[in-house]
Amino acid sequence: MQSLAWYYHRLKRMSADEVLWRGRGALRELVDLGRLPLGIYPKLSPAKSFDVTSRGFSVAPERCELPPEMQARLVEQADRVLEHRLSFFQHKDLHLGNPIDWHRDWNQQLAAPVKPCPLVDYRVATVSGDCKQVWEPNRHHQWVVLGRAFRATGDNKYAHGFWQQMDSWLEANPFGYGMAWKNPLELGVRLINWVWALDLMRSYQPQPEQWQRAYRALHQHVWDLRRKFSQGSSANNHLIGEVAGTYIATAYLPDLPGADEAQRVTHEILEREIDSQLFESGCTKEQALGYQFFSLQFFTICARVGEMVGRPFSTTFRTRLEAGYRFLAEVAQGGAELPWFGDKDDGYVLDLGDYSHDVCAVSDLYAVLFKGATTARHESAFWLAGATLKTAEDKHTDTPLQSRSYVDAGHYFMQCGTGDDRISLQIDCAPLGYGLLTAHGHADALAFTLRLGGLHMLVDPGTYDYYTYPAWRHAMRRTINHNTVCIDGRDQSEMKGLFLWGSQANAECLEWQDDAQRSVLHGRHDGYAQGEQPVHVARRFELDKVTRELHIVDELEATGEHGYSATLQFHPDCEVHVEGNEIHARRAGQVLTVTAPESVSLSTYHGDETAMLGWFSETYHDKRPATAVLARAAISGSCRFAYTIRMS
């Protein structure tokens, strides 16, 4: 149960239409509480059966020949799935029980209640378990692994194992009961995985009653989703996933009740949302790079299905989708260790053989889908786009990095060099996030990350957790944990909940220059410009590409007396030590030296549990100690703090 203050601030983010929609949703849940125990909801006719010949498309070629090392890796993973072993979040080769316990938060060893889902409060992890820990195995990515293994080997044990697990899930998760039915996004992701798994194993004939149960569950998913598409302030990546699942299921099973109308409506929504949720430059408007991968997967799969069923999406849709891939490919030129910003919960849609955030695999897919390539080195390009797989490495390129500005998204990249001499500096001069909630943004205006030779040196702290540890959820979004300026220990933007913000900093770029010798960005934000004693914050970056020096100047106009701090968050693999006003960092042959102004004092934190400083979370629900150095000073009036970072 949320606090009254949370409800107040949440209501402030809603339009009258959204309030009405949510009121209807609350009434619908009350009705569901009465009819779920009685089984009063739309059902298929008893005579209705799953017609194999009526499937609208095929997800992969009938013949599947993978390179030996890919097939061996796939078989090993599928065999673990047959043993009920999964790896997700911080769990490695976790055994889910025999039979599988579909309701357990394995992190807390706490079972989510199996009761009508309107009564399940997924936000209270101490009562219902961490919903994401419960949801992840229930997305059924593992069943697509079994389907791929069946298609690649022809071994019936994978199809037999799939149907055993499907029967187990349907028995444990009756319609409308438990955490698995709580969130419409989860239904959307699950539907896509079911469609892919069923089609990959279409040549296997289960018992007729198994088909019947699966078909009935597919219908229930679609029926429930169509009642609950997100609206208003909640219509972010959740809406994309809900609509994509409905679109794909009804395209695959065109004889489902209402399939034609569902296809028409969801097609229109997807056309609208790709324009609404991606900037023209291709960057996600959620200001969370991890969610860019998630949304692009939904849009890509839907685009492929549209082509297969003869109802392709528009040129405008395809152009924006290509921009999304191009953005990721360009960001990756500075190194495969991406400059993550905003939330990242490792969400993905289908397991097609590559790590969901493997930007090299994404670049492969980009080349096949949009550049006319016919061969690829990554398995997902085969399963999703029909590319011929090769094992040869890409030829080394000595093309120098170029600086890039994504003005509409507010992200700027100062870049130069080749190979191990690459410098890639990413600067955040962006909005907090998407829509009225800006749910997945962080308080990180004018923050930066730095890669040398493709390796992280100065990093965004990451996300770590959403629900189990609220204090850590708060800490990892704080301004002081990002490489930017913090005033009086306060955040630039005001957190009101786990995914809710109050007042928000507005950032703007005042100047951007780039040529062969240098790059310059001058930006400011108003996050501390309110109240009786405002502080106006501006920051100037200048990268000298010849001397390989970065100059950062913090420019402050303060009314009254305040505390200033500037954070440098290093990657955990960096060896860091401080000597006087100099900070020295080394990682795998890459070296940088930061010279701080004499007017600041330097404090070092490394995995500090009390201050919650000096941590880095690369993947969801996992964090590592890292070194953070804070430069601090007392300020009043006009102040200027100049830093020099030398890279070698």
Determine the Cα–Cα distance for residues 505 and 527; give it in Å rounded to an integer.
Answer: 4
Task: Identify whether residues 159 and 296 lie together within a single domain.
Answer: no
CATH number at residue 493: 2.70.98.70
Asked whether residue 424 is assigned to any structural domain, the reply reads yes
Choosing from 372, 392, 412, the residue where a domain stops is 392
Asked which of 362, 392, 422 is the last residue of a domain, the reply is: 392
**Neighbouring C-beta atoms of residue 625, cutoff 10 Å:** 14
Residue 152 resides in a domain: yes
Report the alpha-carbon distance of residue 430 to residue 506 in Å, rounded. 8
**Do 188 and 237 share a domain, yes or no?**
no
**pLDDT at 45 (0 to 100):** 67
Q: What is the largest CA-CA distance in the chain?
A: 82
C-alpha 612: how far from its chain's center? Answer: 23
**Tokens (6 digits) for 155:** 């071994």
Do 190 and 251 have their domain in common?
A: no
Q: Per the domain annotation, does 399 fall within a domain?
A: no
CATH of the domain at 366: 1.50.10.100
Last residue of a domain, one of 392, 415, 448: 392
Whether 10 is covered by a domain: the verdict is yes
Does residue 464 sit in the same domain as residue 514? yes
Mean pLDDT, residues 603-628: 97
Q: Please state, rounded to an integer, the average pLDDT across all residues of the chain.
A: 95
In this structure, are residues 603 and 630 in contact, taking their beta carbons and an 8 Å threshold? yes
Residues 428 and 386 in one domain: no
**59 contacts 308 by C-beta, under 8 angstroms:** no
Q: What is the pLDDT of residues 89-103, one digit of tens each?
A: 999 999 999 999 999
pLDDT digits (tens, 9 = 90+) for 624-646: 999 999 999 999 999 999 999 99
Q: 190 and 282 share a domain?
A: no
Whether residues 480 and 603 share a domain: the answer is yes
Phi-psi region of 521 (alpha: psi -120 to 50; beta: other; left: phi over 0): beta
Angstrom distance (rounded) from CA 131 to CA 127: 10
Tell me the mean pLDDT in the region 552-560. Answer: 97
C-alpha atoms less than 13 angstroms from C-alpha of 334 in its C-beta half-sphere: 26
Identify the domain containing residue 426 by its residue range. 404-647
- The answer to whether residue 49 sits within a structural domain is no
Chain segment 192-220, per-residue pLDDT in tens: 999 999 999 999 999 999 999 999 999 99
Asked if 374 and 246 sit in the same domain, the reply is: yes
Structural domain contains residue 221:
no
For residue 54, what pLDDT band results from cuts at 50, 70 and 90?
confident
Model confidence band, residue 403 (pLDDT cutoffs 50, 70, 90):
very high
Q: Do both 553 and 521 map to the same domain?
A: yes
Mean pLDDT lowest among 1-5, 308-312, 366-370: 1-5
Number of domains the chain is built from = 4
- Region 534-550: mean pLDDT is 98
Distance (Å) of CA 17 to CA 136, 184, 265, 602: 32, 20, 19, 51
Tell whether the model's pLDDT for residue 14 goes beyond 90: no
Give a yes or no: residue 397 inside a domain: no
Using DSSP bridges, classify how beta strands 388-389 and 375-376 pair: parallel, antiparallel or unpaired: parallel
pTM: predicted TM-score of the whole model, two decimal places: 0.96
Same domain, 85 and 173: yes
According to the model, what pLDDT value does residue 394 have? 53
Query: What is the mean pLDDT of the segment spanning 237-256?
Result: 97
* Signed CA dihedral, 433, 438, 441, 447: sign only: positive
Token look-up 């065999």 returns: 79
In a shared domain, residues 208 and 256: no
Residue 111, C-beta contacts closer than 8 angstroms, at least 6 positions apart: 101, 103, 104, 105, 129
Query: Is pLDDT above 60 for 50?
Result: no
Q: What is the pLDDT of residues 61-71, one digit of tens each?
A: 887 889 999 99
The verdict on residue 85 lying in a domain is yes
Report how many helices (DSSP H) and strands (DSSP E) the chain contains, helices first.
Answer: 16, 25
H or E element at residue 536: strand 535-544
Regarding whether 249 and 377 lie in a shared domain, the answer is yes
